[in-house]
Structure 1
Amino acid sequence: MRLIYLNGNYVTENDAKVSVFDRGLLFSDAVYEVISVIGGCLIDMERHEQRLMRSLGELSINADEGWSAICLGLVSRNALDEGLVYLQISRGAVPERDYRWPSADIKSTVFAFTQERALIDNPMAERGMRIVTRPDMRWGRCDIKTTQLLYASLMKMEARDAGADDAWMTRDAMVTEGTSQNAHIITKDGVLISHQLDHRVLPGVTRIELFERAGAQGLSIQERAFSVAEAYDAAEAFVSSSTLLIMPVVSIDGHMIGDGKPGGITEQLRRSYISEVQRTAAS
């Protein structure tokens, strides 16, 4: 049985219990991170910690623990070679349900768990993702990695029902991001376009390394919003995230991207990214 980290202790998943008055449960008053594990090593942990501390700061949640030690403890105890560590911090439990939290410090709730998953040998990398677009109706601070994921969940279900793998969200016919990934296109002129960092998109950790890999390949990068029409007309399209790494997109709303197969530049970026994280994990 998996061991879960909960408020300083490693316990079995059946023994991990959180108060029904926890604000994470009542109000989604919580933030989280998902960290890739490859070869038993945490990938990009320092960047994940930096983003986590920013999210906590934006919500004024007082928590600063040994995040790396917690995650490494889980990886070791669960003998995880490849997969994910999910880490969540809520504001904590309160005496009564109230929109306002007490002015006195609340002890935050910290829990984490592991999931086994094939990240490198993902069959989707061979066939590519099928994407549909849907209106982006999330709250206005998508740059904070909160647990308010209901709308993203609904859009993933809509995508599944439409015979697609996932959805890209749009505002005024401009793509913001995927339901749980950053969205990117490569134009026919070989320019990589990705939405600029602002309140409408999450600053992806994998996106940072992606840009470094793209720069090393000599790709020109434009950080700006791109339209759905531009995406339809792109030479290649792909997403980046800790769970999918760099994953090609072969169709959007039924429009075939390129020749309908994973693009060569995207495949090269994926190989380069995997090679780099494997090298880092081995060092």
Structure 2
Amino acid sequence: MSDDWTSVMWKNRSSSSLWVVTKSSYSFDWINDVLKSNIFDEYKSDGEATKFEIHGGASFKNRVSSGSCVMFCLEYDKWDSHSMEEVESLSSYYALKNVVILLSEGAAEEPLSGQMKDQCTFPILNFSKDQVTWYKNHLTFYSRKMGDMRDHVGGSAPWKGHKVGIFSRSSESEFKWLRIQLESGYFRHVIENVRPCFISNSGFQQFMTNVSNCSFGILYHTKNRGRINITDVTDSLYDEELEYMSGMLDKNVMVVVDDLQNADEEEKSRLLRSQPSIKEKAKDLFLFTTDEKKYLEPLVKMRNVIHGENK
């Protein structure tokens, strides 16, 4: 068995630990960036890579085996029967209970072979080269937006956290990703619960009832409906709803526009100029691209697997 495995221990705010174990030649900077993002409830690392001692002493063995998860990371083309045997052997030696295999840098259309997948007894996460590149280039920007969102919600949150309603004419499946994020540990101390609230043309009374059951509202719109026509423009969809939410919730409202091709600050400024009621009646406007949903879904799966869910 080779002895070139190294490891870094991470801890999140709930004090559970995650060991990231790699071959010495593997560059896992992108994994560091992912774990620092708010998707993973702010994992913190001691920053020191240590030799994953194959025949380490009892102290090292206890530290590793007590971790809530150990994630072995390799390049896609380095995952073979020999690597699998090494992982199996290390896992057995350290009596590891929650082990995850993370492979990366393969082609997007390159699935893991059935034999290599079926023979492994641990969950396998496979990230393509395109996915890794996107995380390197865009994850920091996304994390900053989610941080701003939490600051807005937390700035007026009661001691139990806000009861948040996501109000939209779109189906719940369109903003499922947003609800998952708001229900994650990152928002734990500022949000008590999240509920979807459908808006219909003939149901304003129900809309008012839903608003009365919330302390914070998110008005959600997807570009998939055709246009960004929230308010102040021809055929706008949410003039009355935005005004009512702002008044009843003391402006504890945010507007989210989803499925855009471009979500930079220039696009945000353009929308606020053309639809000024958003700035007047909501705390902020948040823009998200189609790619953000596409590339964040695998990270949510990764988070769930690390936490021992949805294997």
TM-score (norm 2): 0.27
* Structure number with higher relative contact order (C-alpha < 8 Å, ≥ 6 residues apart): 1
Bigger radius of gyration: 2
Higher helix share: 2
